[in-house]
Structures are given as structure tokens and as C-alpha cells.
Structure 1
Amino acid sequence: MTIALIAAHEDDAEQLVALRIAAMRDSLARIGRFDPQRARERFLSGYSPAHTRHIEVAGRRIGFVAVKPQADALLLDHLYIRPGSQGQGIGAIVLARIIDEARLQGLPLRVGALRGSDSNRFYQRHGFKLVAQEEFDNYYLLSVE
């Protein structure tokens, strides 16, 4: 399976919002927080095309990843795979690439995950350590020395 990471553009925002909402719908619904308008506004308020890449498999866009530089780390702001393409190891391959990028820059990698979401187990399986919890989110850090 060949996975390509393709630069996003400003006019990709609506497509990415729709994918994010589809990917998060079940997790948000489980905790009674599914609100497509809030999800849309939250994504658009922080959308940075310069830090966002489409995930393509066989020429088909099936997800996206956004990694933003911070003063002392890289923030894995988004990693979403379309529901019909989940469970095939695509997220793990993309995450390994992001970890390699962090390692090359000598920076730890931060990520937040909705409490109760399957993504918590995903990040923990890949070595992220829980560093903080809030009402709806868990925050993780991966040191890449």
C-alpha cells in the first residue's frame, strides 16, 4: 500500500471539516458532545493549510494530518482517517512518518485525544504518555530522543 502525504490548500477547508466530522461522530456522540456546527467552527478557527497534508492511498484522499510547530515541540493537531478506511494500518503508517519528522527536528510530539475515544489506545500503543487530562480531552507527549 502506497500512502502519500499531499499539501493542503486554503480551499480544502470544507472537505477537511466534513472528513473530521465523519471521523469523530461516533466518539463525540458517545459522550453526548456531537455538534456538527461546533466541530466545524473549532476546526476552521485553527485551520492552517501550511501545516496540513491530505492522506492519499491509491490516489484517493482518505484522511488528513496536521502538525504545527510550537516553541518546544510539534503538535499533532489532527490525524483523521475516513471511517471506511480505518483499521487498515494507515494511521499507524502516517503516525510513524510524523514521529520520524519530530525525531529529525529533535522535538517531542504532543497530541490531544477526546476522552473515551479509541484514539487514546492508538496513541498509547505508539509510545505516547498521558501528561494531562481535562473534562473532555486527554493530552499526550512522545519524547523522541
Structure 2
Amino acid sequence: MDASTGADGTRPGRVAADRPIEWRLRPAEPADVEAIAELRAIVMRPDLERLGRFDEHRVRQRLRDSFSPRHTSVIVVDGALAGSVTVRPAEGGRWLEHFYLAPDLQGRGLGSAVLRTLLERIDADRVPVRLNVLQGSAARRLYERHGFTVEDQDPIDVSMVRRPGAGALPT
């Protein structure tokens, strides 16, 4: 842990020099589940509707059913929950899931900054990280910029993997 790292192992960051966003990660708490479930419904709705898969109840329940505060971080901007991300152990590596940002913060470099921080930690362990992204989602471009490649896909999901140290971590 260096001087810029907080007691919880996270560090604050700034993104997009022309539009700085002060952010930090904090450990999730069980009480965060409903706010994250609601954010998931908002963020995923356009892609799920496009794929004909949006269900008002199921989109929230899937988060509730798999929520793991132990492996989840809350992205905090201006003192408020602005997103979430889960990185959990998986056979032979890590699994990245439930990475959501409030729509008004998307496209401003925050997702890249958070992802870069997480990937630096995972790379230190020299293990691959996997994730799924919906077909046609703009998030796929974010993951590709950070070294993820397609491992498998079907009409709904694209499974991606990033090997340790794959590709430069964009700034």
C-alpha cells in the first residue's frame, strides 16, 4: 500500500483532465443492494430492451440473487453511490461483473479509470480476468481497449478474457 492508497486498499482518482471527476472505491455493504439493483435496471435497460430481454423484476432480482458485498466495491462520486463493480475469485483467475456507472457519468473516462485500477490489482496476482457483456453493448469497446478479447459468444452474451498484463492500460 502506498501513500495514495486508502485504508481499504482503494485509491481516489481523477479522470478526463478537461472534465475531472473525483472518485473513490469503498467496500460494499449489504444495505447497498437495492441502490445497486436499481442502477443495474437503469443502465442495462436499453441493451436488454434492444435484445428483447428486459423484465422489470428480473433485472433487479438477478443482482439481488448474486450480490456479494465481500467482493463488491461501490464507486463514489461527490459522496454518493455512482456505480458498482464486483471482482470475485473464479477458477484460475477472477470474474468481473456488475460493473455499472450512472448514465450521466458514462463516457467521461470514469469507467476506464476504475477498470484500470482494478486491472492493476489483478495483474499483480498474474491471473486472467473474465467477464460477460451483452451483444451490441458499448461497454464491449471499453473492455477491448483494456486488453479483453472474445472467448465465446451467443446471440445474447459475449464472453471475454484478459490475460495478465494484456495490452496497455489506457490513461
TM normalised by structure 2 equals 0.81
Deviation at 1:109, TM superposition (A): 1.0
CA–CA distance in structure 1, aligned partners of residues 141 and 73 of structure 2: 23
Aligned to 2:3: none
2:12 corresponds to = none
Alignment partners' CA distance in 2, 1:67 and 1:134 = 23
Provide structure 2 residue ranges, at least 5 long, that are not aligned to the other structure.
1-20, 166-171
1:28 aligns with 2:43: no
| Aligned partner of 1:92 among 91, 103, 112 | 112
1:103 to 123, 132, 139: 123
Question: 2:75 — aligned with what?
Answer: 55
Q: Highest CA radius of gyration, 1 or 2?
A: 2
Using structure 1 for the length normalisation, give the TM-score. Answer: 0.95
Q: Which one scores higher on RCO, CA 8 angstroms, separation ≥ 6?
A: 1
Residues in 1 aligned to 2:65 and 2:119: alpha-carbon distance in whole angstroms: 25
Q: State the superposition RMSD in angstroms.
A: 1.1
The answer for the alignment partner of 1:119 in structure 2 is 139
Structure 1 residue runs without a partner (length 5+): none
SS at match of 2:65: helix
Q: Secondary structure at the match of 1:2?
A: strand
Figure out how many residues of one structure are paired with residues of the other and give that number: 145
Higher percent of residues as helix: 1
Moved over 2 A (4+): none
